[in-house]
Amino acid sequence: MVPLRARYLRAPGTLSPVGKAREVDVRLAGVTKRFGDVVAVDDISLDILRGEFFSLLGPSGCGKTTTLRMIGGFELPDEGAIELAGADVAGLPPHRRDVNTVFQSYALFPHLNVFDNVAYGLRRRRIAKDHIPGQVRRILELVDMPGFEARRITQLSGGQQQRVALARALVNQPQVLLLDEPLGALDLKLRKQMQLELKGLQHEIGISFIYVTHDQEEAMTMSDRIAVMRNGRIEQVGPPQDVYERPATEFVAGFLGASNLLDGTVGAPDGNFRTIDLLSGEKVRVLAGSIDGEQQRIKLGVRPEKIRIAGAAPGSVNGENAIEGTVRDATFVGVSNVYTVATRDGHVVTVYAQNLGTSTDRPPAPGETVTLKWHPEHTFVVSGREGGADGE
């Protein structure tokens, strides 16, 4: 058997040895899954590249776990094809697919020690007995658990159990590792620590990780790309920064962090920008490329941390967008002040003002009139389209 590091030499984002673009490890083509009258996954098509940390992100019932289970062979699609390294595996059982899965519950054997848990898959594959100790030892070193071979599972912390579950999945050298909310049972501090460790581990061994989570921060922290799912369909796919800064739909804008949405009508061109007429009569600008040529009435958005709050001074300054509003609430949360501001057209806008601790200006109080300013480049336009049927 090829040593683990030797098999997965290429780090994510690199070219193959012959200079070609990265290959597709997992391909879903028109995949649909129904449970009775419920369409859990609705005509999904998706390519996951070799060596990629890819996350399926969405609320409960969006279809992300069902999608992962179909890749792993625990569920079979009703329609469509699933390919691993170019081979159609839609009808194959889990043990005949070159993937392994780490579950939220870890699914470790409590009556076996760490060594036997990790060695279980090797023994099922009838690996020579004299090869097993060395392979177990190497994989435990990789997950930072050397010397734990004789420990019982019940003697381990939650983080240690998660590492053992990873070791058991990786020791078989799968082409793809599937992870179904594996950090969900950990406390917040340990979960954040394990996020970084998981990403580091994936980068070191270079295999594809497909990760299911409902935690937006978790997905953005670890992923090379994210697929945001809703009602059995994919709303948007892209690198975390692109999905956050340029959400494609109203749902993505609201699910992946906080977002302020305003209604407007497309106005005249202005160089690289388009003017948007708000319901209040105020005008703001967005990048011209954000507007579909057919659109007239749109929803535009801006993230709370992109907005600067100032005293009442209507009008654009230095090309900034500027709208007027009245402070409804001001809350100090340590790293920032959070303001809710009612605009002239009836929207409520949230603003995160960083607590720099150096300003001598008195922060605005509820009831005061203020101006909200932000750069036009920080304005995005979203589709308000709805998703499909409810998923599982």
Cβ–Cβ < 8 Å for 201, 62: no
Does residue 305 or residue 106 have the better pLDDT?
A: 305
* Predicted pLDDT at 385: 54
pLDDT at residue 21 in the model: 62
Query: Residue 6: pLDDT band by 50, 70, 90 thresholds?
Result: very low
In terms of domains, do 341 and 280 share one? yes
Contact assessment for residue 392 and residue 258, using Cβ atoms and an 8 Å cutoff: no
Of the residues 201, 217, 245, the one at which a domain ends? 245
Give the strand order in the sheet containing 297-302: 283-287, 273-278, 260-270, 297-302, 380-382
- Look at strands 336-343 and 321-332 and give their pairing: antiparallel
Kindly report the CATH number assigned to the domain that includes residue 54. Answer: 3.40.50.300
Residue 23, in any domain of the structure: yes
For the cut 90, the answer to whether the pLDDT of residue 233 exceeds it is yes
Residue 152: inside a domain, yes or no? no
Report CA Rg, the chain: 25
The per-residue pLDDT for 358 is 60
Last residue in a domain, options 199, 218, 245? 245
Q: Which two tokens stand for residue 28?
A: 């879903």
Mean pLDDT of 220-248: 96
pLDDT in the model for residue 334? 84
The answer to whether residue 371 is domain-embedded is: yes
Q: Which CATH number characterizes residue 369's domain?
A: 2.40.50.140
Question: d(Cα 120, Cα 287) in Å, to the nearest integer?
Answer: 56
Range of 196-200, 359-363, 380-384 with top mean pLDDT = 196-200
In this structure, is residue 356 part of a structural domain?
A: yes
Give CA–CA dist 94/317, Å, rounded: 60
241 and 350 assigned to the same domain: no
Task: Specify the higher pLDDT residue, 300 or 121.
Answer: 300
Give residue 55's pLDDT. 97
- Taking only the tens place, the pLDDT of each residue in 166-202 is 888 888 889 999 999 888 777 788 888 888 888 988 9
Please indicate, yes or no, if residue 86 is contained in any of the structural domains. Answer: yes
What are 48-82's pLDDT values in tens digits?
A: 999 999 999 999 999 999 999 999 999 999 999 99
Residues ≥6 apart with Cβ < 8 Å to 295: 266, 381
Degrees, nearest 5: CA angle 179-182-186: 165
What SS3 class is residue 253? helix
- 93 and 29 belong to one structural domain: yes
> Which of residues 189, 210, 245 is at a domain's end?
245
The per-residue pLDDT for range 253-274, each reduced to its tens digit, is 999 989 999 999 998 888 899 9
Top pLDDT among 376 and 121 is at 376
Name the DSSP letter for residue 167: H
Order of strands, sheet of 87-88, starting from the edge strand that comes earlier in the sequence: 38-49, 24-35, 79-84, 87-88
Does the residue 265 lie in any domain? yes
Whether 166 is covered by a domain: the verdict is: no
Confidence of residue 7 (pLDDT cuts 50, 70, 90): very low
Q: The domain containing residue 358 runs over which residues?
A: 258-382
The pLDDT assigned to 360 comes to 54
% of the chain with per-residue pLDDT over 90: 54
Q: Within this chain, do residues 185 and 288 fall inside the same structural domain, yes or no?
A: no
**Strand arrangement, sheet containing 233-238:** 99-102, 176-180, 208-213, 53-57, 225-230, 233-238
Closest CA to 77 of 38, 42, 37, 26: 42
User: Could you tell me which of 367, 279, 389 has the C-alpha nearest to residue 323?
Assistant: 279
For residue 83, the SS3 value is strand
Q: Are residues 241 and 271 in the same domain?
A: no
The pair phi, psi for residue 307, each rounded to 5°, is -95, 140
Q: 251's torsion region: left (phi>0), alpha (psi -120 to 50) or beta?
A: alpha
Does position 1 have pLDDT exceeding 70, yes or no? no
| Same-domain check for residues 268 and 363 | yes
pTM of the entire predicted model: 0.85
Same domain, yes or no, for 192 and 320?
A: no
Please indicate, yes or no, whether residues 307 and 357 belong to a single structural domain of this protein: yes
Chain position carrying tokens 């509820």: 366
For residue 89, tell me if it sits in a domain: yes
Residues near 248 by beta carbon (within 8 Å), at least 6 away in sequence: 235, 236, 382, 383
User: Do 329 and 367 reside in the same domain of the chain?
Assistant: yes
pLDDT the model gives residue 108:
86
pLDDT exceeds 90 at position 387: no
Q: Please give the tally of structural domains in the chain.
A: 2
Same structural domain for residues 323 and 376?
A: yes
Instruction: Please enumerate in sequence order all residues whose Cβ is within 8 A of that of 179, keeping only pairs 6 or more positions apart, or say none.
Output: 101, 102, 198, 209, 210, 211, 212
> What whole-number distance in Å separates Cα of residue 265 and Cα of residue 299?
9
Q: In terms of domains, do 285 and 374 share one?
A: yes
d(CA 273, CA 286): 5
Mark whether 305 and 212 lie in a shared domain.
no
The sheet with strand 348-354 has its strands ordered as 308-311, 369-374, 321-332, 336-343, 348-354
Residue 4's pLDDT is 45
